[in-house]
Amino acid sequence: MAFTYSLAQYVAHKTNVAQQYTPQKHYRLPHPGQGILGPAPAIYASQHTTLPSAFSIMPPQDPTWHMDTGASSHLNFNASNLSTIFDKRLFPSVHVGDGKSIPVTNTGHSIIPSHHRPLHLHNVLVTPNIIKNLISVRQFTRDNNCTIEFDAFGFSVKDYLTRHILLRCDSSGDLYPVTKPSTLPIAFLSTSASTWHQRLGHPGDQVLRSLVSSRFISCNKEKSSHICHACQLGKHVKLPFHSSTSIVKHCFDIIHSDLWTSPIVSSSGFKYYVLFLDHFSHFLWIYPLRSKSDMFDKFLHFRNYVKNQFKCEIKSFQCDHGGEFDNNRLHTLFAKNGIQFRFSCPKTSQQNGKAERMIRTINNTIRTLLFQAHLPLPFGSKPSIWLPIS
C-alpha cells in the first residue's frame, strides 16, 4: 500500500538538485490490487523501490514534528524519536508528492506532551528518507478527540467537547511545527463566558450575550455547557408574577418602594434597607436603615433629591401596608403635597411586584457571591439568612 504526503514537494524543493524535480499530480491510496490508473498486479511487496532523484542529496533532517493536513498517516525519519517501537512495517512504502515511493522500515507510537493531557501519535511510519517529521491532522484529531485551528501566527489544539485549549504552538514560517507550548498568547486569549458570569455577579445568559454583542466584554468560543452551582443555590424561583398594566410617560410618575429586614446587623449597625424604584426609567435608589422609623427621613431625602436634581415631583407612591409606610406622618405629607398612595392588597405582594422582584434580584446577587466566596456561616452564606422577609 502507499500514502500521499503534501509536504513531499517541500522536501524535494529543499534539496540541492531541486531543479531536476518536476512536480506531478498528487495521488491518493489506490485499492489493493489496483494501480493509480487502473488494475495492476500487487507488486508493492516485491518491487524494488526507486527513490526520486530529489532524495539523492539529502538536506539535514529536522526532528521537529510538523502538522500536515494532506498527510494520510504520521511520518518520522528516526525510530529513536518514538516512545514505542513495533519492529514491523504496516506498509512497505509510501507515495510522496511526485508519485514516487519511499520505503517504510518500522512502525511505532509517540506522545506530544501538553499542560492538560498527553496527545498521542499512533502508528507512526518510520521512513528514513523523509526530512520533515509529519503529523497527519485527520489521524491526530481522531485519535485524541480534538480539533486543530490554524491561524496566521500558529495553531491551537482544542478538546472537541469542552473547547479548552490543550496545546498552542506559534510559527512564523511557511509550515506549522509543533513547538514548546506558547505562554505569551495565553494572556491575550479571550476570557471564558463562565469567568465573566462570576465576575459580573452571576447574570443570565441573555445579559452576557448582550454585553458580548455590544463588545463591552470579550469571550472565547467555548461551548456554554457549564452549570453554575452557586446560581442553582442562590436563585430559587417561584411562579412569575403577572405583568403590570400601569402605563406612565414620565419619570417619577410612579415610585415603587419596599423595605427589607436582615437578620444580621452589619458592622456599621444597619439592619434594614429601603429601595425607591422609578417605574418609567427603572432607576433604583437604595438607602440602608438602622431602624424602620428612619424610612420617613430617607423618603424626605429622596424627594428633595428628585426635586433639586430633576426639577419634578413624585406623583404616586406604590408600596405595601407595612407600618413604615402606612403611618400618619407619610399620610399627612402625601396629602399636603398631592402625592397619591398606591397600597397593595393585604397578603398580595404581587401588586407590589416591581419592588419585590428588585429586592429578590439584589439578594440573589449578594447570596450568590457569598456562595462563590465560600464564606462561613457568620458571614451569611446560609441560604435562609438572605431570603427576603415580607
**Three-state secondary structure readout of 95-151:** ECCCCCEEECCEEEEEEECCCCCCEEEEEEEECCCCCEEEEEHHHHHHHHCEEEEEE
pLDDT in tens, 104-113: 888 889 998 8
* Residues with Cβ within 8 Å of residue 208, at least 6 apart in sequence: 193, 196, 197, 200, 217, 219
Q: Would you place residue 94 in the very low, low, confident or very high pLDDT band (cuts 50, 70, 90)?
A: confident
Range from 104-113, 175-184, 285-294 carrying the lowest mean pLDDT = 175-184
* 68, 25 contact by CB (below 8 A): no
pLDDT in tens, 331-385: 999 999 999 998 888 777 777 888 888 998 888 887 788 788 887 544 543 333 3
Cell of 297: 427621613
The rounded distance, in Å, linking the Cα atoms of 340 and 315 is 6
- Dihedral Cα 87, 93, 96, 98, nearest 10 deg: 160
Range from 63-72, 135-144, 217-226 carrying the lowest mean pLDDT = 217-226
Range from 88-92, 152-156, 360-364 carrying the lowest mean pLDDT = 88-92
pLDDT in tens, 155-169: 999 988 888 888 989
Tracing cell 518510520 back to the chain, one arrives at: 126
pLDDT for the residue numbered 224 = 57
DSSP annotation of 386 reads: G
CA distances (Å), origin 126, targets 72, 73, 87, 334, 370: 14, 11, 10, 91, 58
Range from 36-40, 135-139, 249-253, 334-338 carrying the lowest mean pLDDT = 36-40
pLDDT for the residue numbered 48 = 44
Asked whether the predicted pLDDT for residue 184 surpasses 70, the reply is no
Going by C-alpha positions, the residue among 129, 133, 386 that lies closest to residue 261 is 386
Could you tell me what percent of the chain has a pLDDT over 90? 27
Local structure of 271: helix, strand or coil: coil
- 326 assigned to active site: no
366's enclosing H/E stretch is: helix 353-373
Catalytic one of 62, 68, 174, 258: 68
Rank 68-72, 76-80, 178-182 by mean pLDDT and report only the highest. Answer: 68-72
pLDDT in tens, 46-75: 334 444 444 445 567 778 899 999 888 898
- Helix and strand counts by DSSP (H, E) for the chain: 8, 16
* 119, 112 contact by CB (below 8 A): yes
Q: Which residue has the higher pLDDT, 385 or 102?
A: 102
Local structure of 344: helix, strand or coil: coil
What mean pLDDT do residues 317-337 have?
A: 92
The rounded distance, in Å, linking the Cα atoms of 67 and 145 is 16
Asked whether the predicted pLDDT for residue 153 surpasses 90, the reply is no
Q: pTM of the full predicted structure?
A: 0.39
pLDDT for the residue numbered 34 = 35
pLDDT for the residue numbered 203 = 87
pLDDT for the residue numbered 350 = 72
Proportion of the chain in helix, strand, coil states, percent, rounded to 5? 30, 25, 50
Residue 203 CB burial class (10 angstroms; 0-12, 13-18, ≥19) = middle
Asked whether the predicted pLDDT for residue 315 surpasses 90, the reply is yes
288's enclosing H/E stretch is: strand 284-289
Point out which residues pair with 260 in neighbouring strands: 273
**Which CATH code fits 254-386?**
3.30.420.10
CB atoms closer than 10 angstroms to residue 366: 14
pLDDT for the residue numbered 29 = 38
In the chain, domain spans: 8-188, 193-226, 254-386
What mean pLDDT do residues 124-135 have?
A: 88
Residue 176 CB burial class (10 angstroms; 0-12, 13-18, ≥19) = buried
pLDDT for the residue numbered 211 = 83
Output phi, psi for 76, to 5 deg: -145, 140
Q: Which residue has the higher pLDDT, 20 or 118?
A: 118
Q: What is the mean pLDDT of the chain?
A: 76
Could you tell me what percent of the chain has a pLDDT over 70? 74
Rank 23-37, 46-60, 74-88 by mean pLDDT and report only the highest. Answer: 74-88
pLDDT for the residue numbered 82 = 85
